[in-house]
Amino acid sequence: MSPSSILIVEDEAVVALDLKMQLEDLGYTVVGIADDAEQAVALATKHRPSLALMDIQLKGSVDGVEVAAQLRRQMDLPVIFLTSFSDAQTVRRAAGTAPYGYLTKPFQIKEVAAGVEVALTKAQMERAERGTERSLAFALQCVTDGVVLTNEQHQVRFMNPAAEQLTGWDLRDAVGRSVDEVVSISIAEQELHSLGHLAPAEEVSTQQRVAMANAMTLHRRDGSALHIDEWTGPIRDAQGQKTGGIVLLRNASHRLVQEQRLLEAQDRFRSAFDFAPIGMALVSLDRRVLLANEAFARMVGHEVSALIGMSSDSLTLAEDLPFEEERLQELVLGHEPMVQFEKRYLHADGTAMDGSPVLVVVTVVREDEELVCFLYQVHDQQAQREIAGKAAELAVERMRRQASDAQNRATRDVLARVTHEMRTPLNAVLGYGELMKVMSMGSSAQLHGYAEQVVSAGRHMLSLVREVLEAPPGYTKGLAVPLEPVGLHDAIDEAIGLLKPSAQAHHLWLDNRVRPEVRVMADPLRLRQALLNVGSNAIKYNKPQGFVRWALEPSDAGRVKFSVVDEGVGMTPDQLERLYQPYERLGQEHSNIVGTGLGLVVTRGLVERMGGSIEITSEPRGGTRVEVEFDAAP
């Protein structure tokens, strides 16, 4: 179809045919002639003409004004009215259809031709403009930023879907409303003055170009809030006259999160940089120190502030510079991702650092693939060796503890096995002792007494075995034990009762001179064992017909001291020095006296664990004196 095709709508056939011939003579194509509304719409729908020449008076009940309105509405068809009606009411009705011309009969063909040409040109320009607007509208529909267009009165005339989503306003509801109502923004009071921020309507009115404001709060229609970035600016026509404004909105939430993460990452880097145990420095491509940490400053003997801007070459021993330059060149050319080398730094006074050279690892810092600076990491090898040495010491100590724990476990296992095996014969001794007590009743008082001593000694041994078996690991290594008031006189009497058979065998006299009311803070079982160990030694190393005496001694307030004195062979000063060495028999290894060399070692441990002390004095052939002291019981 030619772009200059015309539809004639005229109820007078003669006028229509004459007009048709004259238009065709002018080069236009007439697609048809209609004399009523129905025929006009049908022909227009079928042929899609470029223009319609419309008479107002038509056959039927529908006039040309209504047909023109329908054609404009349905197919955007330009219309020129050719009519004999020129009254104000008819003109107003026709004007409501936005015609491209209004000619009254009779008319000249020249007037018609001029009107047709103007109408066709205008229609073509409007179609092109509308096409541009549709393309722009489609583009605005697709962009992810919100776009709000306003008229000169700052009323919303367009919003894209992104703006609808950001503001919470529907386009239908927003059109005609003030942009300040639809795009309701606020900014922190403390930032308002520095940013000079205005409401969107004021911005559009005052700005000569696009203005930007970051991270403002947008109050959405539903009352919720959102951080946005905003751009505003005027819209001008071809003559530079302002015809409205534009407001661009972008959700700033993601950007703010990313910026916060970047700041946190920068803080972490700066913290790691500043407090790194190794020396670190950022050095520019022209070898100037941009940033340095405290560790690096200590290495070269400068304050951190004094290093900034200083040439890194001035900190380096001159003879080390060529090799460093060579290695850095390899890094710049991309031959290596990082380089390392040894170098010697200079102190502030120009002297070389003491010790071996430091190890330097250098990488490049890039921004948008461009080299920005070098990152120097300086390792003090001497300090690292010291750290490694300390780590080795800690490892050795850990291994020692592990070995000790393993030994304790093994010891516990052995003790458990041994004590378990000891309980069987001890239970047999106790059983036969109890049987002897029953059988000796009424027959022999002396035999009955012996049986009681056997049972008492067996029970004491069984208690010791049970304690060893049930004690937790490390229990025997100096840990405190629970204490209670114990009658010292009765404890000594119990020990004497158990020692009496051995004393009688050696023809010795055992004498307890401790007063019955004296009490000490001790563990009954361990106190008895300590008394037995000391008494046993006093008996074994005594002289025939001698004595062993337990007696109180002067002591400080709150303490009780007693002594155990014998008339035995005594000890030399050299023997006294070796007294507490395990398995030391002090020259009695080949004698007939049975022993292991552990009695006094164990005794001192028992006494000290109960908060007491033990002191031994002796002279050769002058006997031995053992003094034991405990806290007095309240």
pLDDT for 17-26, tens place per residue? 999 999 998 8
Mean pLDDT, rounded, of the chain: 82
Per-residue pLDDT tens for 168-189? 999 999 999 999 999 998 865 4
C-alpha to C-alpha distance for 159 and 132, rounded to whole angstroms? 17
Range from 275-279, 339-343, 456-460 carrying the lowest mean pLDDT: 456-460
Give the mean pLDDT of 567-574.
86
Decide if pLDDT at 634 tops 50: yes
Return the domain boundaries, the chain.
Answer: 5-137, 143-257, 275-379, 385-470, 484-631
Tokens at residue 134, please? 């549709």
Q: Confidence class of residue 70 from pLDDT cuts 50, 70 and 90?
A: very high
List helix spans (H) across 351-380.
Answer: none
Integer Cα distance of 543 and 536 in angstroms: 13
DSSP secondary structure letter of residue 327:
H
DSSP state of 604: H
- On whether the 484-631 domain is CATH 3.90.1150.10, my answer is no
90 membership: H or E segment, kind and range: helix 88-95
Q: How confident is the model at residue 202 (pLDDT cuts 50, 70, 90)?
A: low
Tens of pLDDT, residues 392-431: 788 888 888 887 777 767 766 666 666 555 655 665 565 5
The answer to whether domain 143-257 and domain 275-379 are alike in fold is: yes
Sign of CA dihedral 209, 215, 216, 222: positive
Closest CA to 583 of 569, 572, 567, 599: 599
Tally Cβ neighbours within 10 Å of residue 629: 20
**Helix, strand or coil for residue 117?**
helix
Please tell me whether residue 247 adopts helix, strand or coil conformation. strand
Residue 218 contacts residue 251 (beta carbons within 8 Å): no
| Statement: residue 2 has pLDDT above 60 | no
Among 315-329, 417-431, 505-519, 573-587, the minimum mean pLDDT is found in 417-431
Listed ranges 393-397, 463-467, 545-549; the one with the highest mean pLDDT: 545-549
Distance CA 535, CA 531 (A): 6
In this prediction, residue 472 has a pLDDT band, given cuts at 50, 70 and 90, of very low
Cβ–Cβ < 8 Å for 343, 357: yes
Tally of CB atoms within 10 A around 105: 12
Pick the CATH number of 275-379 from 3.30.450.20, 3.30.70.2740, 3.40.50.150, 2.60.120.620: 3.30.450.20
> What is the dihedral angle through the alpha carbons of 60, 64, 65, 67, rounded to the nearest 10 degrees?
80
Structure-derived torsion over alpha carbons of residues 106, 109, 112, 116, reported in degrees to the nearest 10:
160
Domain 143-257 falls under CATH 3.40.190.10: no
Residue of 545, 547, 530, 515 whose CA lies nearest to 616:
530
pLDDT attached to residue 566:
93
Reply yes or no on whether the pLDDT at 580 is more than 50.
Answer: yes
Alpha-carbon distances, residue 173 vs 145, 170, 224, 422 (angstroms): 20, 5, 18, 100
User: What is the reported pLDDT for 197?
Assistant: 47
Integer Cα distance of 309 and 523 in angstroms: 75
CA 214 to chain centre: 29
Question: Considering only CA atoms, which of 348, 343, 350, 352 is closest in space to residue 378?
Answer: 343
Percent of the chain topping pLDDT 90: 34
- Rounded CA-CA distance 1/21 in Å is 19
Mean pLDDT value across residues 447-461 = 67
State yes or no: pLDDT of 434 exceeds 80: no
CATH of region 5-137: 3.40.50.2300
What is the pLDDT at residue 559? 95
Q: What pLDDT, on the 0 to 100 scale, is given for residue 292?
A: 92
User: Which residues, at least 6 apart from 531, have a Cβ–Cβ distance to it below 8 Å?
Assistant: 491, 492, 495
Low-confidence winner among 127-131, 213-217, 284-288 (lowest mean pLDDT): 213-217
Angstrom distances, CA of residue 412 to CA of 408, 469, 472, 572: 6, 8, 9, 37
pLDDT of residue 411: 65
> What tokens does 335 get?
């031959």
Per mean pLDDT, which range of 177-191, 448-462, 500-514 is the poorest?
A: 448-462
The reported pLDDT for the residue numbered 474 is 46
